[in-house]
Amino acid sequence: MDKPSDYSGYTLAEIKELHQQLVSEQANTPSTTQQQQIEQLEHVISARESAAPQAAEEPLAASMPETDVVTAAGVTRPAKPVLRTVPVKFLGITSEFFSIWIVNLLLTIVTLGIYSAWAKVRTNRYFYGNTEIDGHRFSYLAEPLQILKGRIIAVVLFASYFLAGYISPAAGLIVAGLLALLAPVLIVLSYRFRLRMTAYRNVRFSFRGQIGRAYMVFLFWPIISLCTLYLLLPINLKKMDEYLLEGSWYGDRQFKPRLNTGEYFGTGIAAAAIGMIIMMVGGVVIGVTSVMTASDTESVTNVLGFGIVALYFLTFIIAGSFYTSRIRNHIFSATELDGVAGFKSSLAMWELIKLRVTNTLAIIFSLGFAIPWAKIRKAQLYANVSNVDVLAEPDKVMAASGNSAEAVGEEAANLFDVDIALG
């Protein structure tokens, strides 16, 4: 299937060179697809040259994907061959994490939640530190006091919303409105914090997404999607993922997603359909079961009540797993860490469903003690289905710091760096 290639990332010189290449190849081994491509290139060349002569030397897009080359078949592929494909390994084990989790939980309760900042750091260090790619592990660098600061702010915000609502429903609405208006800022701040606190091989990640665009994606687009009765929700979701990915950097390399809107629409519609079918079928099953097995009003109500709760969970898990697995797989294969790595995810919907159902049941029936087991299992599954294509040795990736203006910006950001997300 021929898709028109996007040449906006190339300079005019590069396009002309490619055109030259293809013309000579066409002379030797002609093919219709190649001829179509030659014509397409000629079209692009004349468009560029007539547009703005001086700008013709610049690529149309801000970025220059030096790694992408258009081959004769019109398929974009990293120019750099894959040096090696490495699996993502998760090395954490339940027995070890259970002890960490339960002791930290005790300390958290005894300190009425204050220790929770330390507990969070230890938990994240455990999961990040036990994630290994290509022989090197991730680090989580946050300090507990930073987390505590963020949590205190979050508590104040939340409590003021609560209390405002008590004094006057109108005031409550106003505060809720203000918080909603602030939401994009909070999202960016906490995402930025999370990435900056993550490092691999002593190079930090960072988030450089513009706040203005955050408002588009997290406030403006949700309103639009709401107005269209969620018909445009897939576009919104795609834009959110795109925004977060494009704004993410590893050192001085940017993550480059090439997300497909069609994929989001297809998956979204299918997930909604699956959800509705399960609800309908499940509703009938529950209705029939409750009538057949129960003898009095009390038991019928019980069966109905708990049956509906279970159905709600099942729908959420099944439809959600369908969406999550497909979109995750798509995002991985469509994203490249500029020149350094490609990604692959082979998460199967049924594996995810099995994981979520068994985790949920285990946690409920163990009255919560299975939580560490569930977290470890989830990390293992996600790691097992993830692979990284190493395109170039990461040695050349520079830590985005030093004398650049970035560093000053980062330090200033440090003051405002609070992990505001509740919980």
Partner 1 sequence: MITGHLYSEQSAESSTVSVKLEAQNMVITDNVGEARVFTLDSLNTAPKLGRLPREIRLPTREQLVCDQSELLNHWLDGEHGGVAKLETNRRWIFGSVVLVPALLYFVFGWLMPWAAVHFANLVPDKAKVIASQQSLSALDATLLDPSELDEAEQEKIRAGFYDVKDSISTNHKVFSVQFRHAPQIGPNAFALPDGTIIFTDEMIALVDGDQALLNAIFLHEVGHVENNHSMQLVAESLFATLAVSYFFGDISGSLEAFFGIGSTVVNNKFTQAHEADADEFALRQLRNAGKDPMAFADAMKKISELRPSASETMDNWFSSHPAIQSRIRKAEAFAKQE
Cβ neighbors of 217 (< 8 A, separation 6 or more) are 184, 236, 239, 240, 243
Tokens (6 digits) for 228: 């269209």
d(Cα 275, Cα 229) in Å, to the nearest integer? 17
Among 4, 53, 169, 262, binds partner 1 (CB under 8 A): 169
Residue range at the interface with partner 1 (CB under 8 A); choices 32-40, 114-122, 214-222, 330-338: 114-122
By C-beta, is 122 or 258 nearer to partner 1? 122
By C-beta, is 84 or 298 nearer to partner 1? 298
Interactions with partner 1, residue window 340-379 (CB under 8 A): 356, 359-360, 363-364, 367-369, 371
Asked if 38 and 22 count as a contact pair (C-beta separation under 8 A), the reply is: yes
By C-beta, is 96 or 410 nearer to partner 1? 96
Report in angstroms how near the CB of residue 140 gets to partner 1 at its nearest. Answer: 9
Asked if 305 and 357 count as a contact pair (C-beta separation under 8 A), the reply is: no
Provide the pairing of β-strand 198-200 with 253-257. unpaired
Query: Is residue 407 close enough to count as binding partner 1 by CB under 8 A?
Result: no
Query: Is residue 320 close enough to count as binding partner 1 by CB under 8 A?
Result: yes
Report in angstroms how near the CB of residue 354 gets to partner 1 at its nearest. Answer: 13
d(Cα 387, Cα 332) in Å, to the nearest integer? 9
Specify burial of residue 7 (Cβ count, 10 A radius: 0-12, 13-18, 19+).
buried
- Write each residue from 183 to 222 as x if it is in contact with partner 1 (CB under 8 A), else as -, in one continuous string: -----------------xxxx-------------------
Asked if 257 and 328 count as a contact pair (C-beta separation under 8 A), the reply is: no
Report in angstroms how near the CB of residue 397 gets to partner 1 at its nearest. Answer: 4
By C-beta, is 19 or 256 nearer to partner 1? 256
Specify burial of residue 192 (Cβ count, 10 A radius: 0-12, 13-18, 19+).
buried
Interactions with partner 1, residue window 239-298 (CB under 8 A): 251, 297-298
Among 79, 105, 232, 279, binds partner 1 (CB under 8 A): 105
d(Cα 30, Cα 28) in Å, to the nearest integer? 6
Interactions with partner 1, residue window 3-62 (CB under 8 A): none
Query: Is residue 408 close enough to count as binding partner 1 by CB under 8 A?
Result: no
By C-beta, is 163 or 180 nearer to partner 1? 163
If binding means CB under 8 A, how many residues of this protein chain bind partner 1?
78
User: Which ranges of 111-260 would DSSP assign to H, the alpha helix?
Assistant: 116-129, 144-167, 169-196, 211-215, 221-227, 233-246
- Write each residue from 128 to 167 as x if it is in contact with partner 1 (CB under 8 A), else as -, in one continuous string: -xx-----xx-x-----------x---x--xx--xx--xx
Report in angstroms how near the CB of residue 26 gets to partner 1 at its nearest. Answer: 42
Q: Is the Cα torsion angle 77, 80, 82, 86 positive or negative in sign?
A: negative
Residue range at the interface with partner 1 (CB under 8 A); choices 79-87, 261-269, 300-308, 410-418: 300-308
Query: Is residue 423 close enough to count as binding partner 1 by CB under 8 A?
Result: yes
d(Cα 318, Cα 330) in Å, to the nearest integer? 18
Q: What is the DSSP letter of 397?
A: P
Among 99, 228, 293, 404, binds partner 1 (CB under 8 A): 99
Residue range at the interface with partner 1 (CB under 8 A); choices 62-70, 168-176, 177-185, 257-265: 168-176
Distance separating the N- and C-terminal Cα atoms of the chain: 46
